[in-house]
Amino acid sequence: MSVKSCTMDTSMSAYVFVVILSLISTITNAGLSKPSVLFIVVDDLRPALGCYGNSLMVTPNIDNLATKSVLFNNTFVQQALCGPSRTSFLTSRRPDTTHLYDFYSYWRKAAGNFTTLPQHFKQNGYFTQSVGKVFHPGVSSGHTDDFPYSWSVPAYHPPTQAYKMAKVCPGPKGNVYMDIVCPVTVKDQPGGSLPDIQSREFAVNFFKNMSANHSQPFFLAVGFHKPHIPLKYPKEYRDLYPLNKIKLAHHHTFPLRLPLVAWNPWTDLRERDDIKALNLSFPFGPVTKDYQLLMRQSYYAATSYMDSQVGLLLDALHTHGFSNNTIVVLVGDHGWSLGEHQEWSKYSNFEVSVRVPLIIHVPGLTDKHTDITFQYKDPLKQVHVKYRNHSRSNLVQTQREKIDIQKNYFKEYNVIRSKEFSLKKYKVSNDLMELVDLFPTISELAGLPVPSTCPPNPFKIDLCTEGSSAAKLIQSISHTDSSRQSTGLRWKSAVFSQYPRPSVEPQENSDKPHLKDIRIMGYTMRTQQYRYTEWVQFDPATFHMNWSRVYGTELYLRNSDPDEAENMAYFSSYAELRSSLSRVLHEGWRSVLPT
């Protein structure tokens, strides 16, 4: 097996460069400013979206965005934890360079004065604004969300986020709890609202204010909290997903031959009152099947609620006159396990934790229409209009009949939705992407200087990238007439993620160890065919790994085992393959960069 990257065809590279310059020239000649950027980050979002082929999901607004964009189907984070992931993709540096594997250090003090994505735009004349959760708040962003380096004004955080760990989830007899599963009546919540509603309202007002002064392009980053736990959302969204339609994860038991060091005991769930009440054993559980279904149902409902906020945001982008000249990027900061492998939350190197959706819209490029619209679509009305009409009919006499009508309509709706999805012409790339690629990609698409590749010792270099610009991939896919699974361009042949552990066996701090407690680092590499992982000795004082001290190895054959349920690393018949993959893993990301 070869996983070496090849050089990109020079003529194609030159062609794409000319086309992008032409696009920028067209915008300038039309009397418009540089393209603005709307950067949407969604917390804990796996590719559980209609546009990613999940016919159960009701996400009409993100699906609509995808029809006008390039959808990247194989995008991976560098670490499946909020703080390290966001610091990584906003600086375009990997965790071993930012020296951030937890929430308790600030890269400008711990590693280097690295320029961030919004800072790069600010330094090139953009007004930059952060709304909601973009950087991880607190120590990891200097207690200021990296203001004033990255932002023109201080970041906005919704005040109702203060109740993330509060007892606000309604329960029996009028009591309230701090639960995972938390459908609520919005007006009854503290502040009469929810964080993502407040973030969306602030961002909509931002568009209104900017429309009065359109002389300066903007970089607006909006971070939505849901579907991060608690799964707190307006209760009507739960009706989109009848419990009898929810299924357990395909492989929801402990994987065969999984090394114990790879296991995450999902301690964040165990802090919640409803999970505590299940009296689960530590560290393996498992969660009862009934509650697995309830958590999956609420994750989907919270995702549809988030989709509604995205839709209202995009609708405002158009209403205030920015949609024809704004690059839109939507990305998840990492995935989330929904019972796969008997695990929950993130904190691992499994596909469900490190793979995220990535959708990039470039007006005039990914969508050729001269007037780009993002009309809001209410997820609730997508399903319930027909049901409500039946409910008002005099023919409906009993509650039983109402339930039967609803069940039948959901069945009919899902059939129709599957057909609609199969007919849609999404522009799809199956090329392997990493979130460190975002910085150079967005810079090139906007016509800004593209950071050069970081040298092996990058700590004194303020502006460089440990990713690659995917602008040429976007350009190539956009110039096809239909969905395209492969661009034909030479691109990276592997992507890399990692996760730290304090010990071989699971313990209370296995999910989120502080830097001083990290003793093992799990380095994982994903190719088109395989996922290969080595858990090796790590020194938190020097940030060095010892490849010769291995505590566990994983090998998953993606073509025959897409759920990563059977670890094949210990079979002698795969020794040669394991050796080949191990060599590239040790060589690292530089060995597979397109040049």
User: What gap in Å lies between CA 521 and CA 481, rounded to an integer?
Assistant: 44
Tokens of 241: 């997903």
User: What gap in Å lies between CA 141 and CA 98, rounded to an integer?
Assistant: 12
Question: Which residue in the list 51, 82, 182, 454 is annotated as catalytic?
Answer: 82
Burial of 248 (0-12, 13-18, 19+ CB in 10 A): middle
**What is residue 156's DSSP assignment?**
B
Long-range contacts of 314-318 (CB under 8 A, 24+ apart): 314/61, 314/64, 314/65, 314/374, 314/376, 315/374, 315/375, 315/376, 316/203, 316/204, 316/207, 316/208, 317/38, 317/207, 317/374, 318/372, 318/373, 318/374, 318/375
Q: What are phi and psi of 584, to 5 degrees?
A: -70, -40
User: What gap in Å lies between CA 98 and CA 87, rounded to an integer?
Assistant: 8
Closest by CA position to 277, among listed 268, 287, 267: 287
The C-alpha angle with vertex 94 and arms to 563 and 131, in degrees rounded to 5, equals 90
CA distances from 306 to 102, 225, 310, 585 (A): 26, 8, 6, 36
3-state secondary structure 241-275: CCHHHCCCCCCCCCCECCCHHHCCCCHHHHCCHHH
Provide the pairing of β-strand 218-224 with 36-42. parallel
User: What gap in Å lies between CA 8 and CA 128, rounded to an integer?
Assistant: 34
- Count CB-CB contacts under 10 A for residue 571: 13
Q: Is 136 a catalytic residue?
A: yes
User: What gap in Å lies between CA 269 and CA 276, rounded to an integer?
Assistant: 9
Closest by CA position to 468, among listed 495, 490, 440: 440
User: What gap in Å lies between CA 204 and CA 319, rounded to an integer?
Assistant: 10
Question: Which residue in the list 99, 136, 157, 334 is annotated as catalytic?
Answer: 136
CA 295 remoteness from chain centre: 19
Give CA torsion, residues 297, 298, 300, 306, to 10 deg: 160
User: What gap in Å lies between CA 145 and CA 137, rounded to an integer?
Assistant: 6
User: What gap in Å lies between CA 338 and CA 294, rounded to an integer?
Assistant: 11
Burial of 388 (0-12, 13-18, 19+ CB in 10 A): exposed
Q: Is 82 a catalytic residue?
A: yes
261, 522 contact by CB (below 8 A)? yes
Before 227, cis peptide (omega within 30)? Answer: yes
User: What gap in Å lies between CA 523 and CA 550, rounded to an integer?
Assistant: 11
Paired with 223 in beta bridges are 41, 132
* H-helix or E-strand spanning residue 21: helix 10-29
User: What gap in Å lies between CA 552 and CA 487, rounded to an integer?
Assistant: 36
Q: Which residues are annotated as catalytic?
A: 82, 136
